């Protein structure tokens, strides 16, 4: 088993991984707090194996409008990452990031999308950096792709992550963490999704 497969196996099985995942999500929350000027809290990461046909129902109404911030991870740890936000949360977060009063943004223009893309960079970099610190000899170079900000129905956004998996698997393995500020005006899900080929080797 490769080092990458062994690490994914540890992460999804819970064997010695709780501290690693919680450290990663703490760093994500800390980075979001620093960027937004708000106290961002996170829930303990949960590992879920969801049948493909139930993925959209797992996280909400597939016809609800959502904002997705999507990145692909490559190099020493391959997979996908997706931050899913209700549109109102994305607008409020964008206001915080650009320093505008809450309620200023009513649509996601170029400036707001750029700010949210930086959120994607931050959360995935925090996750990958933690993995690298815990596994310095085995992972080598970790590369996140440029973030893509999508505004669409939830079902359409999730199809982006489902499509590369569905050709190889009939389920989706998700490391799921909830994020939000104290007032719950900003809320979202952060998903880490192992590469489907790696997932096939996880027992």
Q: pLDDT digit string (tens) for 63-112?
A: 999 999 999 998 888 899 999 999 999 999 999 998 888 889 999 999 99
Q: How far apart are CA 146 and CA 156, in angstroms?
A: 20
**What confidence score (pLDDT) does residue 200 get?**
44
pLDDT band at 1 (very low <50, low <70, confident <90, very high): very low
Question: What are 21-69's pLDDT values in tens digits?
Answer: 888 889 999 989 998 888 999 998 888 889 998 888 888 889 999 999 9
Do the beta carbons of residue 125 and residue 47 sit within 8 Å?
A: no
Domain that holds residue 159: 3-199
- The CATH number for 122's domain is 3.40.1550.10
pLDDT at 63: 92
pLDDT at residue 133 greater than cutoff 90: no
Total domain count, the chain: 1
Strands 148-153 and 65-75: antiparallel
Confidence band (pLDDT; 50, 70, 90) for 17? low
pLDDT at 188: 93
Do residues 116 and 69 touch, judged by C-beta distance below 8 A? yes
Share of the chain above pLDDT 70, in %: 92
This model's pTM is above 0.95:
no
126, containing H or E segment? helix 110-134
What is the band of 14 on the pLDDT scale with cuts at 50, 70, 90?
Answer: low
Q: What angle do CA 65, 86, 125 make, to 5 degrees?
A: 120
pLDDT averaged over every residue in the chain: 86
Q: Is the pLDDT of residue 123 over 80?
A: yes
């Amino acid at each position: 088993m490769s080092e990458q497969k062994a690490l994914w196996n540890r992460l999804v099985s819970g064997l010695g991984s709780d501290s690693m995942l919680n450290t990663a999500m703490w760093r994500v929350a800390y980075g979001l707090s620093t960027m937004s000027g708000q106290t961002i809290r996170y829930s303990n990461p949960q590992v879920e194996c969801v049948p493909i046909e139930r993925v959209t129902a797992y996280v909400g109404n597939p016809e609800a409008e959502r904002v997705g911030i999507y990145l692909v991870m490559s190099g020493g740890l391959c997979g996908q990452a997706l931050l899913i936000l209700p549109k109102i949360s994305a607008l409020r977060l964008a206001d915080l990031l650009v320093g505008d009063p809450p309620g200023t943004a009513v649509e996601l223009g170029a400036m707001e999308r750029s700010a949210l893309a930086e959120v994607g960079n931050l959360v995935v970099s925090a996750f990958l950096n933690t993995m690298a610190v815990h596994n310095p000899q085995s992972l080598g170079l970790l590369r996140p792709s440029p973030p893509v900000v999508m505004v669409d129905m939830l079902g359409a956004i999730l199809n982006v992550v489902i499509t590369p998996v569905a050709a190889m698997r009939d389920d989706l393995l998700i490391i799921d963490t909830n994020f939000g500020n104290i007032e719950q005006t900003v809320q979202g899900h952060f998903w880490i999704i192992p590469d489907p080929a790696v997932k096939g080797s996880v027992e």
